[in-house]
C-alpha cells in the first residue's frame, strides 16, 4: 500500500508531465495536429493533455 507521501509525489510528477506537455505545445507547435503527430497520439488525446497542462500551469503561475 502506498503512503501519503508516495501518493503526493506521484500526483506532483504527473502534474509536472502535463505542464511540460502544455509548455512544449505552446513553445514548439502551431497546431494540435502537429503535437499529436509528434507524440504519436490522437488529436483528442493531444487536446486533453494540453487542456489539463494549461490548467496546471495556470494554477502554478497565477499566484507568483
Tell whether the torsion through CA atoms of 41, 46, 49 and 53 is positive or negative: positive
Which residue, chain included where needed, has cell 509548455? 23
How far CA 47 is from CA of 12, 13, 20, 36, 44, in Å, comes to 21, 20, 14, 8, 5
Asked whether the beta carbons of 18 and 52 are under 8 A apart, the reply is yes
pLDDT of the residue at 53: 98
pLDDT of the residue at 15: 96
pTM of the predicted model, to two decimals? 0.89
Domain ranges in the chain? 16-62
pLDDT of the residue at 59: 95
Q: What is the pLDDT of residues 7-63, one digit of tens each?
A: 999 999 999 999 999 999 999 999 999 999 999 999 999 999 999 999 999 999 997
Amino acid at each position: 500500500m502506498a503512503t501519503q507521501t508516495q501518493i503526493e509525489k506521484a500526483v506532483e510528477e504527473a502534474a509536472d508531465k502535463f505542464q511540460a506537455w502544455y509548455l512544449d505545445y505552446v513553445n514548439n507547435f502551431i497546431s494540435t495536429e502537429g503535437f499529436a503527430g509528434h507524440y504519436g497520439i490522437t488529436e483528442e488525446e493531444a487536446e486533453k493533455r494540453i487542456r489539463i497542462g494549461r490548467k496546471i500551469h495556470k494554477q502554478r503561475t497565477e499566484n507568483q
